[in-house]
Structure 1
Amino acid sequence: MNSQPISSDVYQQAGEWLERLDNGPLDKLSKRRFINWVDAHPTHKQAFESMLATWSSAALERALIDAQQNITLKERIRYTPPVRWWQAAVLCTAVIVGVITWQFSSPQPTLIIHQYATDNGEVRSVTLEDSSVLTLGAASDVYVRLSDNHRLVNLKQGAAYFDVTSNKQRPFEVKVGSASVVAVGTEFNIDRGQYFTDVVVHEGAVEVTGGPDESPLLLKAGEQVRITGRTLGDIRPFDIRRTLDWRSGWLELDNASLHYLVERLNRQSAKAIRVDAPALNDLRVAGRFRLNEPQQALSLLAEAYGLSVNETPEYYTISRHP
C-alpha cells in the first residue's frame, strides 16, 4: 500500500502519543483512545511509525507492548526490521499495534490533546480551541481532549473554573476520579481535595454524576454539591454575589475542617504545612484567610484557635499548645 500525505496535525498528535507512551504504560481508558486514534486513519499509523523510527526508549517499548493486552488482533503484518536492534524491537511492536481494532464503538477523530499544570502559588488561564476558558488554581493539573463531538477535561488535582462555550453537539465533560460533571454552556467551579470534591455552578446548569452507574443530579446556578467517592451530597444554595472562591485570593470558611484549610494553603505555600496529630485535622475552623499569604493565615489560625505554628527551613507544623 502506498503512503498517503500526512498533515502537520497528525504528526503533532503522533508526537503527543509518543511522549505519553514514553512516560510509561497507559491506563485502560488511554489505551482505548490510543488504539482508536491509530485505527482512525492510515496516516495515523504512518506518522506514528515514522516518528517511532528515531525514538529510542525502553519505556516506550514496554508501554506499547502493554497497550496490546486484552485486545484482539485482526492480522499480523510481515515486517523486515532495520539494522539497529532497538529500532527493530520497537518498530515491530508499532506495526502490530497499527493493525489493532478495538472491539467497542468506532473511533472519534481527535482534534487536540493538551495537559496543563500549575505550580504552588500559580494561577493560569487557558483559552481552549473551542473558545472555552479554563482557569487553573494553584498546584492543579488537568488533561484536555477535544474531539468533533465531545469535549473532555480530566481534573487530576487542584481546582479549576470553567467558562464553557455553548455547543449542544459537543457536551463539555469534566472527570474527577469516577465522578463527572457535564455542561453545554455554563460557568462552574470544581475544587478537588483529598477526600471530596466541591462543584459550584455560577451560571447555567450542569449534570453531576458520582459514577458510571449512578443517577445524575441537575445542579443550577446558585447551587453547589459535594462529591465523596461516588456519593453525591445534598444540593446546597450559595449567594453568587457574596461567596468568595480561590479566584479572589481568599478562602472563606464556615465550620470546615482544619485539614480542608491546610490542604488549600499547601497549594500556595512554598513550604509544606503539616499537622502533627491526626485528630487535629478534624478541628472545625471558620473565618476568611488570604490564600497567597499562608504564613499570615497560619498566624491568624493559631491566635483564633489556641494553636502553635513552628517553622523550619522545610515546613510549618501546626500543633496544640502544650
Structure 2
Amino acid sequence: MPAEVQTRTAADDQAASWIARLGTRTIALATIQEFAKWREDPANAEAYRRAEQLWSRTGELADDPDIQAALAQAQGRRPRRFSVKQIATGSLTTALAASLAAGAFFWQIRDTYATEVGEQRSLQLADGSRVRLDTASKIRVRFTDGERRIELAEGQAFFEVAHNPARPFVVMTTNASVTAVGTVFEVRRVGSETRVVLVSGAVDVAQAATPSAPQRLLPNQQTAIKAGKAKVSAVNADTATSWTTGELTFVDTPLAEAVAEVNRYLAAPIILDAPAAANTPINGVFRSGDRTAFVSAAAHLFNLKAIREADGKVRLVSSRNNAQG
C-alpha cells in the first residue's frame, strides 16, 4: 500500500469530502452548521487547512496521489488516476482543470453562490475571507494569484476580508467597485443603486461610469451610488448590518420602506394599502422572516387591519377605511 494512503487520517478524508460538499452551487444552512461544528475540533480544522493547501497546488493537482485517494474515497470511487478531462466534470475543480489545460500554474477559483427568498448563507472563501449572503442574493467569485474579485449580481452580501495586500479584494456591481484589505463591510444592490456600508477598516469605492478617483470610506459611513452620483453619509453600522444576525432594525424608518425591507424575506409579502401611514416612522427590531410579529406591531401602532388574502399575502389597510367599507 502506498505510504500516502497509510499515513492518511479519518480527518483528512472528511476534509476532502467537505471541500467537495462546500464547492457545490447551493448549500443548505444545515450543512454549513454541520461543517462549523465539525471544524471546531482542532484536528479537523488542521486537516481542512491541509486539504485547502493541497487544492491550491494547481500545478501538481492532476498527479498528486494523496488528492486522488481523497477524492476517490469522498466520492465513493476506487482510487484511480484522473485525467484533466475527468477532473473537469467535478463541481469543485472546473476552474482548476481549465487552468491546467491552459498551462497556467496559479490558483484560480470561479464559482457562483446564491440564496433563495428568505434564505441566508455563510461562506468561507479559499483565502480565509468570509461572506454572508442575504436573502435573494447572488455572487460570482473569481480568484487569481494577483486579485480576489467578487461580483455581486443580486441582493446583499457582508464581507470579512482576510488581510493580504498583495491580492486586492474587490467587490464589483454594475456601477461601482469596492476595494478593501483586511476590512469588514457590506454591499447591496437596490435596483440601479449600489450601497456600501463600512463596519471596520477602510474601503475605496469607485464609480464604474466616471473616471474620478476612488472615495475612501471610514467606519460607520455609507455611500449610495446611482446615476453617476455618490452620496456619503453617517450610519450606525451595527444597525445597518443587523440582518447578519437575523434581525431587521428600524430607526425612524418610514412604514412603507420597512414593509419593503420585511418583504425581501417573505415568499408571501405584505401589501401596505394605507397611504396615510406610508411615511409614518416605525421603530423596532424584528426577526427577519417573521411576518406575523411585524404585521401585528404595525397594525397596533398605526391602527391598521390585517387582511389575509387567498394567495397567502397579507394586506394592511386603515381600520377606519375598512369599517366604512
TM-score calculated relative to the size of structure 2 = 0.61
AA at the equivalent of 2:284: R
Structure 2 counterpart SS, 1:154: strand
How far, CA to CA, are the matches of 2:175 and 2:139 in structure 1? Answer: 15
Q: Once the two structures are superposed, what CA deviation does each residue of 1:6-42 show, in whole Å capped at 9, x if it has no partner?
A: 947965896599xx9xxxxxxxxxxxxx9xx98x77x
* Mapping of residues 26-175 of structure 1, within 5 Å: 43-44=101-102, 111-175=108-172
Of the candidates 263, 268, 273, which is equivalent to residue 265 of structure 2?
268
- The alpha-carbon deviation at position 119 of structure 1 amounts to 2.1
The farther-off stretch of 221-230 and 156-165 is 221-230
Cα gap change, 1:235/1:119 in structure 2, threshold over 3 Å: closer, same or farther? same
Of the candidates 172, 184, 188, which is equivalent to residue 187 of structure 1?
184
In the other structure, the counterpart of 1:287 is: 283
AA at the equivalent of 2:182: G
How far, CA to CA, are the matches of 2:176 and 2:131 in structure 1? Answer: 19
In the other structure, the counterpart of 2:307 is: 310
Asked whether the equivalents of residues 187 and 196 of structure 2 are also in contact (C-alpha less than 8 Å), the reply is yes
Structure 2 counterpart SS, 1:215: coil
Asked whether the equivalents of residues 289 and 297 of structure 1 are also in contact (C-alpha less than 8 Å), the reply is no
Asked whether the equivalents of residues 120 and 270 of structure 1 are also in contact (C-alpha less than 8 Å), the reply is yes
Asked whether the equivalents of residues 194 and 224 of structure 2 are also in contact (C-alpha less than 8 Å), the reply is yes
How far, CA to CA, are the matches of 1:13 and 1:156 in structure 2? Answer: 28
Gaps of 5+ in 1: 21-33, 46-106
Asked whether the equivalents of residues 277 and 302 of structure 2 are also in contact (C-alpha less than 8 Å), the reply is no
1:221 maps to 2:219: yes
Asked whether the equivalents of residues 197 and 223 of structure 2 are also in contact (C-alpha less than 8 Å), the reply is yes
Asked whether the equivalents of residues 109 and 144 of structure 2 are also in contact (C-alpha less than 8 Å), the reply is yes
- The alpha-carbon deviation at position 252 of structure 1 amounts to 2.0
AA at the equivalent of 2:302: Y
Higher helix share: 2
In the other structure, the counterpart of 2:228 is: 230
Asked whether the equivalents of residues 14 and 44 of structure 1 are also in contact (C-alpha less than 8 Å), the reply is no
How far, CA to CA, are the matches of 1:15 and 1:229 in structure 2? Answer: 42
AA at the equivalent of 2:215: L
Asked whether the equivalents of residues 110 and 145 of structure 1 are also in contact (C-alpha less than 8 Å), the reply is no
What is the number of residues matched between the two proteins? 236
Cα gap change, 1:173/1:301 in structure 2, threshold over 3 Å: closer, same or farther? same
AA at the equivalent of 1:226: A
* Mapping of residues 186-205 of structure 1, within 5 Å: 186-194=183-191, 196-205=193-202
Cα gap change, 1:13/1:249 in structure 2, threshold over 3 Å: closer, same or farther? same
Cα gap change, 1:282/1:234 in structure 2, threshold over 3 Å: closer, same or farther? farther
Gaps of 5+ in 2: 1-59, 63-81
How far, CA to CA, are the matches of 1:262 and 1:13 in structure 2? Answer: 47
- The alpha-carbon deviation at position 192 of structure 1 amounts to 2.7
Q: Once the two structures are superposed, what CA deviation does each residue of 1:175-218 show, in whole Å capped at 9, x if it has no partner?
A: 12211211011111223333644322111100112324243210
Q: Once the two structures are superposed, what CA deviation does each residue of 1:96-143 show, in whole Å capped at 9, x if it has no partner?
A: xxxxxxxxxxx9967111111122322211100111011112222111
In the other structure, the counterpart of 2:20 is: none
Q: Once the two structures are superposed, what CA deviation does each residue of 1:66-91 show, in whole Å capped at 9, x if it has no partner?
A: xxxxxxxxxxxxxxxxxxxxxxxxxx
TM-score calculated relative to the size of structure 1 = 0.62
Cα gap change, 1:280/1:289 in structure 2, threshold over 3 Å: closer, same or farther? farther
Structure 2 counterpart SS, 1:287: strand
Asked whether the equivalents of residues 226 and 232 of structure 1 are also in contact (C-alpha less than 8 Å), the reply is yes
How far, CA to CA, are the matches of 1:249 and 1:275 in structure 2? Answer: 23
How far, CA to CA, are the matches of 1:286 and 1:11 in structure 2? Answer: 58
